Amino acid sequence: MTARARAATRAVCCTIAMALVVLYISVDVVLQLLPPHYSVVSDAESDLAVGPFGWAMQVNFAARAVMSGCVVAAVLLTGLPSRRRTAGAVLLGIAGLCSAALVVFATDVNRVGEFGMQPRTAVGTVHVVFATTGFVTVLAALLLLTPWLGEVLRSHRTATAFLVLACVGLLFLAASLVFAPRVVGLAERSCLAGILGWAFAVAAGLRTQR
């Protein structure tokens, strides 16, 4: 593949990734406004996939998987091969596959008075496993790829800022599960905001890279 073809393909992948990030956030916001009106603070984002409009969240999970794949492709089409780039891309790909799995394995919505993440069924347990694996692998990918971005982009401060937000969000999520399950939803969304923001910032930066 010629350098021009690589740049053109990368630009297409980045544009798709950016559009899917915007779509993902938009669908999330709209679903929060629709019944059964889950709480942003106490209910996990995955609960949005359970209910009369749950199919929209399932599509959203699939969109997040495609977005991850587009970012992976953009990363692999940038710069020279390296262990850091390859490892980060593989981990980001795994995180995308975990998101795709959430389409099939629905979460167990908490009963009235329950908080946190307490699966009651085998399917719900599998959902938690994939969701947890996805968060851990994507954070590992971000930790590997953000320093790499410093080698190929003139400025990656925005991506670094979103990485910090994602890491703080993950720590917040872990702490909330143990000490404050009533704010699990807020903690999860703060971590997800960092991840999505990082993906958008990276795609925007690589889109015009030559």
Q: pLDDT tens digits for 58-102?
A: 999 999 999 999 999 999 999 999 999 999 999 999 999 999 999
pTM of the prediction?
0.96
Which tokens belong to 102? 């959430």
Per domain, the residue ranges of the chain are 3-207
User: CB neighbours of 72 closer than 8 A, spacing ≥ 6?
Assistant: 89, 92, 93, 96
CA distance 64 to 5: 25
Reduced to 3 states (helix: H, G, I; strand: E, B; else coil), residue 162 is helix
The predicted-structure confidence for 37-53, as pLDDT tens digits, reads as follows 999 999 999 999 999 99
Contact 166, 200 (CB under 8 A): no
CA distance 124 to 142: 27
Contact 190, 172 (CB under 8 A): yes
